[in-house]
Structure 1
Amino acid sequence: MPLRVELPPTFADALREAERPLVGMWVCSGSPVAAEIAGCSGLDWVLVDGEHSPVGLETAASLLRALAPYPVVPMLRVPELDAAHLKQVLDLGAQNVLVPMVDTAEQARAAAAAVRYPPHGVRGVGSALARASRWGAVEGYLAGARETVSLTVQIESAAAVANAGEIAAVDGVDAVFVGPADLAASMGVLGQQTHPDVVDAVLRTFDAVRAAGKPVGVNVFDHAQAHRYLDAGASFALVGADVQLLTRASRGLAEAFLPAEG
C-alpha cells in the first residue's frame, strides 16, 4: 500500500494555537548545519532568507530538509513579489512564505493570488512532480493546498505603514511582519531602527494590523527593544541571525585572546 504523508502545521496554525508570542531567528548563511543548529535550539520558528542572502532554490530546499526533523516552524523569505518565484518555492516544499516590500493592498492581493491555485489564485499546477505534495504522497494535496500554505507579507516603508490596515485585511494574508531597517531608511533615518519616529510607526502598524484581526510581528535584534515590542502586542518576532551570532561570538574571542592593535 502506498505511503501516505501528512504535512506539518503552518505558521498560521502555530500563531492560532500559541499562548505566547513566537520567537525565532534568521538563517542567512545558506548553511544546512546552521539551519539544523537553529532548528534544535528550542526557538519557535526559523526564517530562511532568500532576499539578502545567497540562498537560491536548491539551497532553500536543502535548508528546509535540514529543518524538517525538528519542532520548529520554517519560513522562507522570497526576494520579491513574483508569482513565478513563489510557485517554485511552494513546489520545493516551502509551506510558509514571507513576501518583502508589500506597500499596498493591491500588492498583498497579488501575493495571496500567487500562493493559491485557480479559481482563487494563479499558482501553477505541478505539485505531483514536486516536494510540496511529497511527490503525490500527500493525499488530496490540490484540494487542500490552501490549508498547507501560510502567507506573511512584510511592511517596510512609510507608505506601507499608511496602508497597513488595508494590507492586513486582504483575504489570504495570514500575518504581517514589520521590517524596521528598511522602514527607517524610507523615513530618512537610515540605520536608526530605534529612532522614536520609527518606533512610533512600528507601533501604529501593530495597531492597524491587529484592528484588522491579523497577527503582527517584527524583526528586532536589540533585545531590550524586542521585549518592548512583544509587550506592545507583537505576536511573533525575529531576534537574531546565524551570521550575526557567529560574527559577535568570533569577534568576542578575538578581543578576549588577542592583543589590541596599535
Structure 2
Amino acid sequence: MTLNMSFKSKLADPSRRLTAHMCAIPSAIIPQTMASAGSDAVVIDFEHGAIDMASAHAMIAATAGTACAPLVRVSRNDATQVKRVLDLGAEGVVFPMINTAEEAEMARNSLAYPPTGIRGFGPYIAHSRWGTRFVDYPETAEAGIVCCLLIETREAVENIREICTVPGIDALMIAPFDLSVDLHLPGQFTAPEFQEAVATVEAAANDAAIPLGSVAMDKAQADALLERGYRIIAGLDILWLKQMAAVSQSWVS
C-alpha cells in the first residue's frame, strides 16, 4: 500500500498549525514516541546530534504507519548528504546556514531529480518506506518532498527578501540560538537588534506566504509565536527531557 507524504500539503494549508520536533538522541524510540503523540513532524538532527546513517534509517522507519513526517536536518547544504537521507526514506530536508538566494536554490535543486534538480537515482530503501515500486518512487515521492530552510545568521536576515523569492521553499525556520550568537547577542532574545532581525524575517515570510516556524519550550512561548503568525512550533528532545527531569527533581527538593 502506498503511504502518502502529507506534511507538504499541511504546510500549504494556511489554516494548519503544526509541530516539528528536533530529535538529536540516536534512538528510534524518540520519533516513534513523538509520532504516536500526534506530532506532525520530527526532524532527525545530523547537524548537532549524535546520529549516524544507521540510526537515521531506524528513526525514519519508526514513523511508518503514522501521520508524522520524518524530516532530516543535514549538517550542511550538500547534495550528496541530501541524496543519502532522502534515499533512507526522509520526507524532506531541513537545511542549515542558508544565507543567500543562491544557496536556497542549491538546496531546492538537491531534492529533485533531473530535469528540475540534481538528485541521483537510487531509492533502494526509500521506495519500501513509501510503499511503492522502486521504479515508481520518483513519481510517487518527488511532489511530496519538503524543503525547509533555517534562518540563523545576520547575512540570511539581510538577504531574506531574495531568499523568499526562490520557488519551491515550503517553510522557513528561525533558529533563535544560532541567530543570537551570530548577532553577538548569545541568548539575548529580548535585545532590540535580535528582535529587529526576527521581525525582518517575519515580514518577508508573511509577504511571500511561506510558513514560518521557531522554537517554543512552553505554551506561553508557543502562544506568542502563533499570535505573530507562526505556523510551526518546534521543540528539542534533549531539552524536553532535561526540562522535565528538572521539574521532577523540584518535587523532592
Taking structure 2 as the reference length, the TM-score comes to 0.90
Which structure has the bigger radius of gyration? 1
- TM-fit CA distance, 1:152: 0.6
- TM-fit CA distance, 1:115: 0.8
How many residues are matched? Answer: 252
- TM-fit CA distance, 1:177: 1.2
1:57-72 to 2 correspondences below 5 Å = 57-72=53-68
- Partner Cα separation in structure 1 for residue 101 and residue 28 of structure 2: 35
Superposition CA RMSD, Å? 2.1
Question: 2:128 matched to 1:130?
Answer: no
Match of 2:226 in 1: 230
Q: SS of the residue aligned with 1:26?
A: strand
Any stretches of 5+ residues in structure 1 without a counterpart? none
- TM-fit CA distance, 1:27: 1.7
Per-residue CA distance 1:197-224 (angstroms, 9 max, x = gap): 3233212201102212322212233543
Q: SS of the residue aligned with 1:112?
A: helix
- TM-fit CA distance, 1:195: 3.0
- Partner Cα separation in structure 1 for residue 217 and residue 77 of structure 2: 25
Match of 2:87 in 1: 91
Per-residue CA distance 1:76-130 (angstroms, 9 max, x = gap): 1111101100000011100121001100000001111111111111111112x23
Match of 1:175 in 2: 171
Relative to structure 1, the CA distance from residue 113 to residue 19 in structure 2 (aligned partners, 3 Å threshold; closer, same or farther) is same
- Partner Cα separation in structure 2 for residue 19 and residue 9 of structure 1: 19
Question: 2:220 matched to 1:255?
Answer: no
Match of 1:48 in 2: 44
Relative to structure 1, the CA distance from residue 9 to residue 188 in structure 2 (aligned partners, 3 Å threshold; closer, same or farther) is same
Identity rate, percent: 31
Contact kept? 1:12, 1:174, Cα under 8 Å? yes
Any stretches of 5+ residues in structure 2 without a counterpart? none
Q: SS of the residue aligned with 1:76?
A: strand
Q: SS of the residue aligned with 1:208?
A: helix
- Partner Cα separation in structure 2 for residue 130 and residue 245 of structure 1: 31
Q: SS of the residue aligned with 1:124?
A: coil
